[in-house]
Amino acid sequence: MDVFLPRGTRDLLPEQMKNRLRVIEIVRGVFARFGFEPLETPAFERIETLTGKYGDEGDKLIYRILKRGEGSDQGESDLALRYDLTVPLARVMAMHPEIRLPFRRYQIQPVWRADRPQKGRFREFWQCDVDLVGSTSPLADAECVAVVDSCLKTLGFSKYTIRVNDRRILADMARIAGATNPKEETSVLIALDKLDKIGRDKVHAELLGRGFVEANLQAFWDVAELSGDNDAILHALNTVLSESGRQGVEVLRQLLQGAIALGVAPAAIQIDLTLARGLDYYTGPVFETVVDEPKIGSISGGGRYDELIGMFSPTPLPAVGVSLGLERLITVMEELGMLPSAGTATEVLVAQWGADTLPETLDAARRFREAGIRTELFTEPAKLAKQFKHANARGYRWLALVGADEKAAGTISLKDLLRGEQSSLSIADAIAAVQKAGTLDA
RNA sequence: GUGGGUGUAGCUCAAUUGGUUAGAGCGCCGGACUGUGACUCCGGAGGCUGAGGGUUCAAGUCCCUUCAUCCACCCCA
Chain segment A183-238, per-residue pLDDT in tens: 888 888 888 888 877 888 888 888 888 888 899 999 999 999 898 899 999 999 99
Distance CA A296, CA A121 (A): 9
Model pLDDT for residues A108-129, shown as the tens digit of each residue? 999 999 998 888 899 999 999 9
Å from the A375 CA to the B40 C1':
32
DSSP string, A23-62: HHHHHHHHHHHTT-EE----SEEEHHHHTTSSHHHHHHTP
DSSP string, A368-427: HHHTT--EEE--S---HHHHHHHHHHHT-SEEEE--HHHHHHT-EEEEETTTTEEEEE-H
Model pLDDT for residues A253-285, shown as the tens digit of each residue? 999 999 999 999 999 999 999 998 767 899 999
Strand B within 7 A of A406 CB:
yes
Report the DSSP pairing between strands A348-350 and A375-377: parallel
Per-residue confidence band for A441, with pLDDT thresholds at 50, 70 and 90: very low
ipTM of this predicted structure: 0.85
Residues A63 and A112 sit within 8 Å (Cβ to Cβ): yes
Distance CA A179, CA A212 (A): 8
Is the pLDDT at A363 greater than 80? The verdict is yes
Strand B within 7 A of A389 CB:
yes
Least confident of A59-73, A167-181, A281-295: A59-73
Ranges of CATH 3.40.50.800 domains, chain A: 348-436
* Omega cis (within 30) before A102: yes
Q: What is the distance in angstroms between the CA of the first residue and the CA of the last residue of chain A?
A: 35
pTM of the full predicted structure?
0.91
Q: Which of residues 230-289 of A touch strand B (CB under 7 A)?
A: 276-279, 288-289
Distance from CA of residue A333 to its chain's centroid? 12
- Note the CATH number of domain A348-436: 3.40.50.800
Determine the average pLDDT of the residues in A431-439. 85
Superfamily grouping for domain A14-43+82-335? Bira Bifunctional Protein; Domain 2 (3.30.930.10)
Give the closest nucleotide to A300 (alpha carbon vs C1'): B77
DSSP string, A251-289: HHHHHHHHHHHTT--GGGEEE-TT-----TT--SEEEEE
Mean pLDDT of chain A: 91
Order of strands, sheet of A103-112, starting from the edge strand that comes earlier in the sequence: A37-38, A103-112, A124-133, A319-325, A298-304, A285-290, A161-166, A269-271
* Nearest CA-CA partner of A303 in A117, A114, A168, A442: A168
Please give the residue that has the higher pLDDT: either A75 or A425: A425
Q: Which residues neighbour A437 within 8 Å (Cβ) at sequence distance 6 or greater?
A: A397, A416
Strand B within 7 A of A117 CB:
yes
Give the closest nucleotide to A296 (alpha carbon vs C1'): B77
Is the pLDDT at A294 greater than 90? The verdict is no
Å from the A340 CA to the B22 C1':
38
pLDDT at A73: 66
Ranges of CATH 3.30.930.10 domains, chain A: 14-43+82-335
